[in-house]
Structure 1
């Protein structure tokens, strides 16, 4: 704007030569013979800063193209109201604040060439921060100076460079170590059983290039009082991520309710909103549950007695019903939220270290979370004497009888008949060079025979007294029909001597027709372990794996499907008797085998998964054999003259 033409608008540089003027120009210098007093406005769209932003630096830069001399004179920068096409000398916006004065002279001669002049805007940072438009006026510092030395020209365009900082994001909870919700997440109580928990929050800074941040943690009692824990993670990157802090040497938390607080700080002094997260510490396990028999075929029928017998049925034949109920007392902050039970031939078993109501069956352990304080279960015996062990756990994952022991688990015993099973040896048809080879066995008093010697095709050295099935590339043995219905209890076993563990599945005993479900005893391709595979659907299998075989060595493998308990059990040993079972629990029942299935030894049904080596005394039979029965059933291989039958024990 110009006093010489007080009603003229110079909006967007109209009526100019791409330069703008500042200061006083005497009439005798002016081409039009009129004195001029000029001011120049630059207007910018304001940046929409968020509420937490703080301007660190703000500077207007404009190029001075001409000065009246090389003698510096002052130019002031002002924040004003907005300008528009109607702005003239006679219609000026109000002055808000002067921010800077630059004493400069640029563009008069080569001694003071044209150049950029900067004006600090920080004096008005709070005004700019909340303005939708930034309007900066340049005017002579002394507009009354009539000598003309304050007359200057600047380019029409100018820039503003702003460095700003926003506060870090407010942290969000990630976890309190081993914590879990007692019900619907974020609508229920958050509990941990760890009294010195690792704390984790998500933290970050929207200004990812503004330097690293610090995250401060504190824990205080929910009822009030001083912090019982403080700590910080320093110099962590500003990207949004989980930031964890160990509890360290701070004293452990007592049981109770607490508030975890966290905030983030940046290097510019920005502080995030405070995060507050309530949680509770519960380190006391619930009381062991009450276990009551509901089966009339068990004697004595007395809830106070923990030892029961059934002298009419053998293992796996009938289910037995028990009631598990909560022993919650009002003195406990939390009642038991669920139960773990296991059926085993061992009197003492250890459940998983921590469980939730979503924990699937693990080994022989089943997790139940009833809506009511009690639940009925049906179990089967797994041996002559079986043990039902039951634990209670609460929402914090504390298991009765475990880490935070309050008493032993509730355990009851179940003793049933264990008759010697009667089975027959069925002939096998051999293909592809499969052959029965003489081997040498040893036999300790009271034990079954144990094979010795190599797995290869060489003849045995010593006095031979048994035969093993020798299998090489392309070799197999078959039984023409199915040996078992896999929907019912079944048992498998064999002495196995592989020539190598070659990184591929090796089929030992398979009952499977195409995609029809069945069962397979195999050598695992990755670990060389024995594994039993049974099908819970047309394409869904359930597997239990044991210890690895040894190339060139004999191992005795036994496997069982227990229908009532929905368990697959497997054992691998170098001895003649099962010592330790590996258990896998299935949520679904194993489906029935197709009636057209046959049994193949040494290959899969498609001729792949070739086993090479020797197999001695293979068995696939209906029924759930106990440890003792696996031993006694092998008597069926013996002839009266102490020679052996060859074939599949069925």
Structure 2
């Protein structure tokens, strides 16, 4: 279905050759679309994916140690840790920098799914974890040097990865708010932080895939307000005159070129219905 904003723009600007809106004759013009028409689908609500570019886990037990991109954790790791692990008495929080290449500045975000792949939980008993937007991370990020916890994105209870009763699985948070912040600010990356809501319980212990295709990502679906349409035209049909005013009969085509997101698309309304009422 063509975007309502584009339809409004075309409806507002199109004029019949030689007529226009003529209040004295009580002429009204309505360009209505037909669901069965072959009208070009213009706005597809595209999406972009912000993928993990860098990540780190911080450990309270090792307050000055950096585990940036999994380094220094034994021989290295590809899993991020969150919560309290009672075996070693370690409390952890993890951070991910998500980035994309194309700016969505000025766009309206219609949906954004923040996807995390959990590979381990302490049991199949769900426990709550919170996701925040944070400040940036680097190889200097440690427990004693954590980024700012700027804005909470959401909280959710879940447990995956303990056994076949609750196997590894994706967990999805609503990231629409932070994605809109990115669009408003013209960002092409931001950092998220994961922390357990109850940091003194071993049941809060979780692991997440931190590298590869299953690493955290945000899928952002967005839209942009199109520019006013140009090249508005109604290909000629049969005309006749009433008091020297040319009128068009039949069912003409309507076409216009709408520019959206830097791309121009010609909308051809072969199935559009033109209704004229003479008062």
CA distance 1:137–1:3, change in 2 (3 Å): same
CA distance 1:70–1:109, change in 2 (3 Å): same
CA distance 1:121–1:247, change in 2 (3 Å): closer
Secondary structure, in 3 states, of the residue corresponding to 1:12? helix
| 8 A Cα contact 2:175 2:218, kept in partner | no
| 8 A Cα contact 2:255 2:266, kept in partner | no
Deviations 1:90-148 (A, max 9, x none): 222212211121211112222222222222212323213232312111110222xx231
Secondary structure, in 3 states, of the residue corresponding to 2:59? coil
Question: 1:27-66 residue pairs with structure 2 within 5 A?
Answer: 29-30=87-88, 35-66=89-120
Q: Which residue of 2 aligns with 1:82?
A: 136
| 8 A Cα contact 2:103 2:188, kept in partner | no
| 8 A Cα contact 1:42 1:136, kept in partner | yes
In 2: Cα distance, 1:83 partner to 1:160 partner: 18
In 1: Cα distance, 2:116 partner to 2:234 partner: 55
Alignment: residue pair count: 201
Q: Which residue of 2 aligns with 1:162?
A: 220
Off by >6 Å, runs of 4+ in structure 1 = 244-247
Deviation at 1:67, TM superposition (A): 1.2
Secondary structure, in 3 states, of the residue corresponding to 1:92? coil
Q: Which residue of 1 aligns with 2:276?
A: 249
| 8 A Cα contact 2:117 2:169, kept in partner | yes
Deviation at 1:202, TM superposition (A): 2.0
Q: Which residue of 2 aligns with 1:19?
A: 79
In 2: Cα distance, 1:161 partner to 1:124 partner: 12
Question: 1:321-360 residue pairs with structure 2 within 5 A?
Answer: none
CA distance 1:137–1:18, change in 2 (3 Å): same
In 2: Cα distance, 1:106 partner to 1:201 partner: 52
Deviation at 1:22, TM superposition (A): 0.1
Secondary structure, in 3 states, of the residue corresponding to 2:111? strand
Deviations 1:319-376 (A, max 9, x none): xxxxxxxxxxxxxxxxxxxxxxxxxxxxxxxxxxxxxxxxxxxxxxxxxxxxxxxxxx
Bigger relative contact order, structure 1 or 2 (CA pairs below 8 A, ≥6 apart): 2
Secondary structure, in 3 states, of the residue corresponding to 1:62? strand
Deviation at 1:171, TM superposition (A): 0.4
Question: 1:522-601 residue pairs with structure 2 within 5 A?
Answer: none
Q: Which residue of 1 aligns with 2:171?
A: 117
Within the candidate set 211, 229, 234, 1:171 is matched to 229
In 2: Cα distance, 1:46 partner to 1:21 partner: 24
| 8 A Cα contact 1:99 1:124, kept in partner | yes
Secondary structure, in 3 states, of the residue corresponding to 2:179? helix
CA distance 1:141–1:123, change in 2 (3 Å): farther
Residue 141 (1) aligns with residue 141 (2): no
In 2: Cα distance, 1:71 partner to 1:102 partner: 13
Q: Gapped runs of 5+ residues in structure 1? A: 179-192, 209-237, 253-650
In 2: Cα distance, 1:88 partner to 1:174 partner: 60
| 8 A Cα contact 1:78 1:137, kept in partner | yes
What TM-score do you get using the length of structure 1 for normalisation? 0.28
Secondary structure, in 3 states, of the residue corresponding to 1:139? strand
| 8 A Cα contact 1:174 1:242, kept in partner | no
CA distance 1:173–1:91, change in 2 (3 Å): same
| 8 A Cα contact 1:82 1:133, kept in partner | no
Greater CA radius of gyration, 1 or 2?
1
In 1: Cα distance, 2:117 partner to 2:169 partner: 5
Q: Which residue of 2 aligns with 1:6?
A: 63
Q: Which residue of 2 aligns with 1:132?
A: 188
Q: Gapped runs of 5+ residues in structure 2? A: 1-57, 237-243
CA distance 1:246–1:196, change in 2 (3 Å): farther
Q: Which residue of 1 aligns with 2:150?
A: 96
Deviation at 1:195, TM superposition (A): 4.4
In 2: Cα distance, 1:118 partner to 1:247 partner: 46
| 8 A Cα contact 1:60 1:161, kept in partner | yes
Deviation at 1:242, TM superposition (A): 4.7
Deviations 1:62-113 (A, max 9, x none): 2211111121101111111221222222222212211121211112222222
In 2: Cα distance, 1:67 partner to 1:177 partner: 65
| 8 A Cα contact 1:205 1:240, kept in partner | no
Secondary structure, in 3 states, of the residue corresponding to 1:64? strand
Q: CA RMSD in A?
A: 3.1
| 8 A Cα contact 2:128 2:196, kept in partner | yes
Secondary structure, in 3 states, of the residue corresponding to 2:203? coil
Deviations 1:600-625 (A, max 9, x none): xxxxxxxxxxxxxxxxxxxxxxxxxx
Q: Which residue of 1 aligns with 2:206?
A: 152
CA distance 1:151–1:204, change in 2 (3 Å): same
CA distance 1:66–1:247, change in 2 (3 Å): closer
CA distance 1:249–1:63, change in 2 (3 Å): closer
